[in-house]
Amino acid sequence: MSRQVQAPCGVFELNCAYQNYAWGKVGSSSEVAKLLKSGNASVSIEEQTPYAELWMGTHPSAPSTIPMADGQSLADWVQGNPDGLGKPVRERFGGALPFLFKVLSVQKSLSIQAHPSKAHAEELHKRDPTNYRDPNHKPEMAIALTNFTGLCGFRPIQEIVAFVDNISQLQTVIGADKTAGLMSAGSSDNPDVVREAIAEAFGALMRQNKDILDREFPGDVGGFSVFFLNVIHLKKGEAIFLEANLPHAYLSGDCMECMACSDNVVRAGLTPKFIDTETLLQMLNYTGKPAEDNKYQPSVFKENGVTIRRFTPPIADFSVTEILVDAAQTSFNLQTMDSASIIICIAGSGTLNGGIKKYSDVVVVGVGRMVGDGGVVCSDDVVGAGDVGVVIAGDVVGVVIAGDMGGVISVGSAGDMVGAGGVVGAGGIVWT
Ligand SMILES: [Zn+2]
The whole-number average pLDDT for the span 254-278 is: 80
φ, ψ of residue 124 in degrees (nearest 5): -65, -40
Least confident among 88-92, 194-198, 303-307, 349-353: 349-353
pLDDT band at 178 (very low <50, low <70, confident <90, very high): very high
Spacing of C-alpha 322 from chain mean position: 13
Over residues 363-401, the pLDDT tens digits come to 211 222 222 222 233 333 445 555 565 655 443 333 334
DSSP secondary structure letters along 125-146: HHH-TTTS-SS----EEEEESS
pLDDT at 38: 73
Q: Is the pLDDT of residue 85 over 70?
A: yes
Least confident among 30-34, 223-227, 246-250: 223-227
Question: In this structure, are residues 134 and 121 in contact, taking their beta carbons and an 8 Å threshold?
Answer: yes
pLDDT at 83: 74
Highest mean pLDDT among 65-79, 130-144, 208-222, 337-351: 130-144
For residue 1, CA distances in Å to 62, 68, 76 come to 21, 16, 8
Pairing of strands 72-73, 50-51: unpaired
Strand-by-strand arrangement of the 381-384 sheet: 331-334, 399-402, 349-353, 381-384
Over residues 180-205, the pLDDT tens digits come to 999 999 999 999 999 999 999 999 98
Quote the ligand 1 centre to 271 CA distance (angstroms).
Answer: 13
More confident residue, 367 or 127: 127
Over residues 315-328, the pLDDT tens digits come to 888 888 777 766 66
pLDDT band at 220 (very low <50, low <70, confident <90, very high): low
pLDDT at 47: 96
Quote the ligand 1 centre to 416 CA distance (angstroms).
Answer: 23
Quote the ligand 1 centre to 141 CA distance (angstroms).
Answer: 9
pLDDT band at 261 (very low <50, low <70, confident <90, very high): confident
Quote the ligand 1 centre to 122 CA distance (angstroms).
Answer: 18
More confident residue, 426 or 34: 34
First to last CA, the chain: 36
Quote the ligand 1 centre to 249 CA distance (angstroms).
Answer: 7
Q: Is 155 a catalytic residue?
A: no
Q: How far apart are CA 365 and CA 350, in angstroms?
A: 26
Quote the ligand 1 centre to 243 CA distance (angstroms).
Answer: 9
The whole-number average pLDDT for the span 152-168 is: 95
Q: How far apart are CA 333 and CA 353, in angstroms?
A: 10
Quote the ligand 1 centre to 235 CA distance (angstroms).
Answer: 19
More confident residue, 101 or 124: 124
pLDDT at 271: 55
Structural domains in the chain plus CATH codes:
16-153+230-296 (2.60.120.10), 156-227 (no CATH), 299-431 (2.60.120.10)
Least confident among 38-47, 148-157, 264-273, 353-362: 353-362
Quote the ligand 1 centre to 119 CA distance (angstroms).
Answer: 18
Q: Is the pLDDT of residue 32 over 70?
A: yes
pLDDT at 325: 67
Q: How far apart are CA 12 and CA 71, in angstroms?
A: 12
pLDDT band at 406 (very low <50, low <70, confident <90, very high): very low
Quote the ligand 1 centre to 394 CA distance (angstroms).
Answer: 31
Which amino acid makes up residue 298?
P
Tell me the β-bridge partners of 321: 310, 429
φ, ψ of residue 344 in degrees (nearest 5): -130, 135
pLDDT band at 354 (very low <50, low <70, confident <90, very high): very low
Question: In this structure, are residues 195 and 216 in contact, taking their beta carbons and an 8 Å threshold?
Answer: no
Highest mean pLDDT among 218-222, 226-230, 267-271, 310-314: 226-230
Catalytic residue of the set 90, 92, 155, 267: 267
Neighbours of 332 (CB within 10 A): 21
The whole-number average pLDDT for the span 222-229 is: 84
pLDDT at 53: 94
Quote the ligand 1 centre to 265 CA distance (angstroms).
Answer: 7
pLDDT at 118: 93
More confident residue, 84 or 368: 84
Q: How far apart are CA 140 and CA 120, in angstroms?
A: 16
pLDDT at 195: 97
The whole-number average pLDDT for the span 304-321 is: 81
DSSP assigned state of 273: S
Question: In this structure, are residues 387 and 13 in contact, taking their beta carbons and an 8 Å threshold?
Answer: yes
Question: In this structure, are residues 196 and 184 in contact, taking their beta carbons and an 8 Å threshold?
Answer: no
Q: What is the mean pLDDT of the chain?
A: 75
Q: What percent of the chain has pLDDT over 90?
A: 34
Q: Is the pLDDT of residue 402 over 80?
A: no
Quote the ligand 1 centre to 53 CA distance (angstroms).
Answer: 13
pLDDT band at 420 (very low <50, low <70, confident <90, very high): very low
pLDDT at 294: 94
